[in-house]
Chains A and B, each alone.
Chain A
Amino acid sequence: MAETMKTSLEGMVCPVPLQHQERIVQGHGSGGKLMHDLIAKYFVAAWDNPMLNAGNDASVIATQGAARMAVSTDAHVVTPLFFPGGDIGRLAVCGTVNDVAMLGARPLYLTASFILEEGLEIATLEKVVASMHAAAQEAGVQIVAGDTKVVGKGMADGMYISTTGVGLLAEDTRIHGAAAQPGDLVIVSGSLGDHGIAVLAARGELGFDTDLESDVAPLNRLIAEMLEASQNIHVLRDPTRGGLATTLNEIARQSKAGIVVKESALPIKPAVDAACELLGFDPLYIANEGKLVAVVGREDGERVLEAMRKHKYGKDAALIGEVVAEPAGRVLMQTLIGSHRLVDELMGELLPRIC
Chain B
Amino acid sequence: MCLGVPGKLVELYKSGDLLMGKVDFGGISREACLEYIPEAKLGDYVVVHVGFAISLLSEEEAAATLAVLREVSDIEAELDVRPGELQT
User: Which residues does A use to contact B, with CB under 8 Å?
Assistant: 197, 201, 207-212, 269-275, 277-278, 280, 353-355
Number of interface residues of B (CB under 8 A): 15
B29 close to A (CB within 8 Å): yes
Contact between chains at B1 and A354 (CB < 8 Å): yes
Q: Chain A CB within 10 Å — which of B2, B5, B27, B31 has the most?
A: B27
Do A208 and B50 have beta carbons less than 8 Å apart?
no
| A355 close to B28 (CB less than 8 A) | no
Chain B residues near A (Cβ < 8 Å): 1-3, 5, 25-31, 48-51
| A210 and B1 contacting across the interface, CB-CB below 8 Å | no
**A195 to nearest B CB, angstroms?**
15
List residues of chain B with CB within 8 A of the CB of A209: 28-30
When the two chains form their complex, are residues A208 and B49 in contact, meaning their CB atoms are under 8 A apart?
no
Residues of B within 8 A of A269 (CB): 27
What residue in chain B is nearest A208 (Cβ atoms)? B30
Partner of A210, one of B28, B48, B49, B50: B28
- Which residues of A are found within 8 Å of B51, using beta-carbon distances? 207
A209 CA / B29 CA spacing, docked (Å): 5
Q: Which residues of A contact B30 (CB under 8 A)?
A: 207-209, 278
Chain B residues, CB < 8 A from A197? 28
Contact B31 A210 (CB under 8 A): no
Question: Closest Cβ of chain B: how far from A278's Cβ, in Å?
Answer: 5
Query: How many angstroms between the C-alpha atoms of A7 and B5 in the bound complex?
Result: 78
Q: How far is the CA of A81 from the CA of B25 in the complex (A)?
A: 27
**Bound complex: CA of A208 vs CA of B51, how far in Å?**
10
Once bound together, how far apart are the Cα atoms of A212 and B26, in whole Å? Answer: 11
Q: Tell me if B3 and A208 are in contact (CB < 8 A).
A: no
* Best-buried of B29, B48, B50 by chain A (most CB within 10 Å): B29
Residues of A contacting B2 in the complex (Cβ-Cβ under 8 angstroms): 355
Question: How many Å lie between the Cα of A8 and that of B2 in the bound state?
Answer: 79
What would be 11 A-B contacts, judged by CB atoms less than 8 Å apart?
A201-B28, A207-B31, A208-B30, A209-B29, A209-B30, A270-B27, A273-B27, A274-B25, A275-B25, A278-B28, A353-B3
Instruction: List residues of chain B with CB within 8 A of the CB of A280.
Output: 3
CB nearest to A201 among chain B residues:
B28
Instruction: Known pairs A201-B28, A355-B1; list 19 more (Cβ under 8 Å).
Output: A207-B30, A207-B31, A207-B51, A209-B28, A209-B30, A210-B28, A210-B29, A211-B27, A212-B27, A269-B27, A270-B27, A272-B27, A273-B27, A274-B26, A274-B28, A277-B5, A278-B3, A278-B48, A280-B3
Residues of chain A within 8 A (CB-CB) of B3 are 278, 280, 353-355
Which listed residue, B26, B31, B48, touches A273 by the CB 8 Å rule? Answer: B26
Within 8 Å CB of A273, what residues of B? Answer: 26-27
Closest A-B pairs by Cβ, 3 of them: A271-B27, A274-B25, A210-B28
Q: Which residue of A lies closest to B49 (CB)?
A: A354
Query: Hey, which chain B residues are within 8 Å of A277, CB to CB?
Result: 5, 25
Q: Which residue of A lies closest to B31 (CB)?
A: A207
Closest to A279 in B: B3
Please measure, in the bound complex, the distance between the C-alpha atom of A213 and the C-alpha atom of B31, giving whole angstroms. Answer: 20
B48 CB, min distance to chain A CBs, angstroms: 8
Q: State the CA gap A208–B5 with chains docked (Å).
A: 14
Q: Chain B nearest CB: distance from A270 CB in Å?
A: 4
Residue of A nearest to B48 (CB): A278
Contacts of B27 in A (CB 8 A): 210-212, 269-275
Name the CB-closest residue of A to B28.
A210
Q: Are A270 and B1 in contact (CB under 8 A)?
A: no
CA distance A280 to B50 in the complex (A): 11
What is the chain B residue whose CB lies nearest that of A271? B27
Q: How far is the CB of A267 from chain B (nearest CB, A)?
A: 14
Q: Which residues of B contact A278 (CB under 8 A)?
A: 3, 5, 25, 28, 30, 48
- Contact at B28–A271, with CB atoms within 8 Å? yes
Q: Which of B27, B28, B30, B50 has the most chain A CB atoms inside 10 A of its CB?
A: B28
Complex contacts, B31 vs chain A, CB 8 Å: 207
- Contacting residues, chain A, for B5 (C-beta < 8 A): 274, 277-278
Docked Cα-Cα span, A211 to B31, in Å, equals: 16
